[in-house]
Amino acid sequence: MNTLTILLVAGCFLSPLSMLAQQAPAPPLAKQTSVSSHSNGRVQTADSLFEAGKFEQAATAYLDAIFDDQLALSKDYKASLYAKRSRCFVALKLDSIALDDASMVIGLQPNAETFYERANIYVRLRLLVLAMKDIESALSLMPDNPWYYLLRGSISFQRGEMREACADIGMARLLGLSVPEDIASATCKTLGIPIEELPQSTGASVKEQSAFKAASTGIASEAVQSLISQTNNLNTTYYKFFIQAGIGSSTAMLSRFFYDVGRGTVFSGSLGYGLSREFTLWCGAVRSAFPYTYASERSQLAGSPGPPYGEVVSWAGVVGGQYSAVVSNKVDVQLSIGLGYRSIRYPIDAPIVMTNGSIRRANLGVAESSGLLTQTIFGVEWRFLKQLAFVAQGGLDLAFSRYNFLTIQRIDREDTHQFLNISAGLRLYLFEQDQ
C-alpha cells in the first residue's frame, strides 16, 4: 500500500464526519498501470514526484509524457497517465481540472475505480445527482466493493434519503468495511434499526444482503425526516463548553430614561456548559454605555444641547439556559432566558446651562442604582467551522433599577426600564462529547 493510499484511508476515519464531508471516503487505490515497453524518464520522474508529494511538478511531468511525440501510447496506457494526473489535481484541491482528467479516463477506458474517483469529485462540488450516477456505474462494474457502498450511502444521506443511506452502510459493513459505529448508529438506529442488528461479517450471500436492504426500507417517513437536519457528527456528539464574545447596540424603551439617553453600545462575554446537543447552561457579563443627552428637558436648555453630558454606564452579571433547534447542517436557532443583577452609574458632575442662565448638574437625584435584571434572547448560529460559530442575537432586557432625575419642576423616579439589544459575535466550542 503506497503513501497516498495510507493518507486517504486514514483521513476517512480520523473523524466520524467523514461520511458527510464533501471529501467522501476513499478506498485503497488500485495498483497503477505498469509502464511496460513505453517506460521513459518522464514517467519515472513523474511517479517519483507524486510519491514525494510534489503534485504540481508531477502533473506537468505526466502531461509531458502524454504528449510526447516519440511515444506511441496505447489507449489503456494513456488512460492510466490521465488517471495519475487527475489524482495530482485532487491532491492540489483543483477539482475542476481533476474532473476533466477523470472524464478523459472514462472516455478512453471506463473502469470502476475512475467512476468512483469522479463521484468523489462530484460530491465535493455538491453535484450529487452526477455523483450518484457515477457511483452506480462503479457498483455495476464492481458490485462487491464496500467502499463504493459507503460512498453511495454518504451521497444518499446528503440527499436526505436515509433509508437508502442506512442500507448501503449495512452493505459496507456486511462486506467487511469497519464503518465507525456513530455513523452507522446515527443513520440506522434513529430509523428503528439498532446498531447491533447491522450485519458485520464478510462472505454474506446475496439473499442475506437483499434481506437487510428490505428491512431498512420499511421505516416510517417521520423517522427518516428526523435525520435530515443535522449538525456536526450527525448529532451524535456535542461540546461540553463554549466561550462567546459579542458586540452590539442597545436602546432604552418605554420609559423616561429613553428620552435622556442615546443609542448605547453593548459588549458581552459568556461561558456555556453543554448538557446535551439541545440544552446549555450559561453565565455571562454585559457592559452597556449610553450617551447622556438630557433630552427630556431640552426645551429648558440655552441654545443647542451640543455633545452628550457624559455617559450612563451599566454592568450586569447573568446566568441562564439556552435551547438550540437544528435548522440545517450548519445553522441552529436558539432561545435563551437569563436572570441577573445590574448596576448602573449616572453622570452627576456635567454642568448644564439653562435658558435663565442658571447652571444645573446632571442627575442630582441618584448617582448609582442597582437591581434585578431579566433577559430573553433569540439567536441564530452559523457553524462555519466545526468548533467556531458566528452568532447573531436580539433580545429584550427588563431592569429593576432606580432612575431618579431632578427636572425643572420635580424629582422623577422610575424603578423599571426596558432595553432592546441587537448584537453579533463569535462562539468557540470546546471538549467534544458523545451524545
Has residue 335 got a pLDDT over 90?
A: yes
Cell of 133: 450516477
pLDDT at 367: 74
272-309 per-position pLDDT tens digit:
999 987 899 999 999 999 888 777 666 666 666 567 77
The whole-number pLDDT of residue 17 equals 34
Mean pLDDT within 326-333:
82
Q: pLDDT at position 231, please? A: 29
Q: Which pLDDT tens digit goes with each residue over 35-65?
A: 444 446 778 888 888 888 888 888 888 888 8
Segment 128-145 mean pLDDT? 92
At residue 20, φ and ψ (nearest 5 deg) are: -100, -10
Cα–Cα distance measured from residue 93 to residue 374, given in angstroms and rounded to the nearest whole number: 50
pLDDT grade for 192, boundaries at 50, 70 and 90: low
Kindly tell me if the per-residue pLDDT of 11 is higher than 80.
Answer: no
Q: Label residue 226 by pLDDT band (50, 70, 90).
A: very low
The pLDDT of residue 220 is 30
Highest mean pLDDT among 97-101, 301-305, 366-370, 403-407: 97-101
Asked whether the predicted pLDDT for residue 237 surpasses 50, the reply is: yes
Q: Look-up: residue for cell 487505490? A: 29
pLDDT of residue 19 exceeding 70: no
Placement of cell 432606580 in the chain: 402
Range in 64-68, 91-95, 197-201, 272-276 with the lowest mean pLDDT:
197-201
pLDDT of residue 426: 96
Q: 245 pLDDT band (50/70/90 cuts)?
A: very high
pLDDT for the residue 172:
83
The answer for residues whose C-beta is within 8 angstroms of residue 137's C-beta and 6 or more apart is 110, 112, 115
Provide the pLDDT confidence category of residue 222 given band limits of 50, 70 and 90: very low
* Conformation bin of residue 430: beta by default, left when phi > 0, alpha when psi is -120 to 50: beta
Q: pTM of the prediction? A: 0.48
Alpha helices in 217-347 (DSSP H): 221-225, 256-260
- DSSP SS3 for 51: helix
Q: What is the pLDDT of residue 326?
A: 81
**Model pLDDT, residue 259:** 76
Each residue of 203-212: b (16+ CB within 10 Å) or e? Answer: ebeeeebeeb
Tell me the mean pLDDT in the region 55-78.
77
| Distance linking the first and last C-alpha atoms of the chain | 36
Domains of the chain (ranges; CATH) run 3-228 (1.25.40.10), 233-434 (2.40.160.20)
